[in-house]
Amino acid sequence: MEDNNKKRLLEITGMETAKFEKMTEILLKKQSAISRLDTDTIQALVSEELAGMNEIRALEKERAGILQTFSLKGEELADPASVERKLGKEYSRKFLELHSKFRAVFANVRRLNDMCQVLLLHSLAFIKQNIRILTDDGKRRLIDKRA
């Protein structure tokens, strides 16, 4: 059973990494769509992003449960000796390689997500300024009453 948990831990970590790599692609497309103010594409990408995050949450929950069976806590994952003591030499090497890649991909997703947030804030400011200009600081209406 313990070996099955170790194998599943490796599998889940790889799957999470792949999901975050997919999230990277989504966020890059989202950046582009935001810069073009392409709301239809943004909406579709946000839906795809939310679905991906739900899948990642499920994997993360399972991974956390398996790590708990080995009494491995978050801070210990950065300590190769601690991981080796709890997973054994063979699995710890494979896990640490996967976990390192996972951390790098996750950090990139966080960076891209932060950039998307900044772009969205700038886009919103741009839209607000255009509305202000078009309405002469609210003195004119954008929609004619006859419409």
The residues, any chain, with a CB within 8 Å of residue 35's CB and separated by 6 or more, are: 119, 123
Task: Identify which of 3, 40, 24, 36 has the alpha carbon closest to the alpha carbon of residue 104.
Answer: 24
8 Å CB contact between 70 and 5: yes
The single residue listed with the structure tokens 């699995």 is: 91
Token pair recorded at residue 25: 């692609």
Share of the chain above pLDDT 90, in %: 61
- Residue 70 resides in a domain: yes
- Residue 132 resides in a domain: no
Q: Is pTM beyond 0.85 here?
A: no
- Residue 19 resides in a domain: yes
Binned at pLDDT 50, 70 and 90, residue 49 comes out as very high
Q: How far apart are CA 93 and CA 102, in angstroms?
A: 14
Token pair recorded at residue 121: 């804030």
Q: How far apart are CA 28 and CA 47, in angstroms?
A: 15
- What pLDDT does 93 receive? 92
Over the stretch 52-98, which tens digit does the pLDDT of each residue have?
999 999 999 999 999 999 888 878 888 889 888 889 998 999 999 99
Domain span at residue 100 reads 2-110
Instruction: Report the chain's mean pLDDT, rounded to a whole number.
Output: 90
* Amino acid residing at 21: E
- What pLDDT does 147 receive? 52
Q: Please tell me the total count of domains within the chain.
A: 1
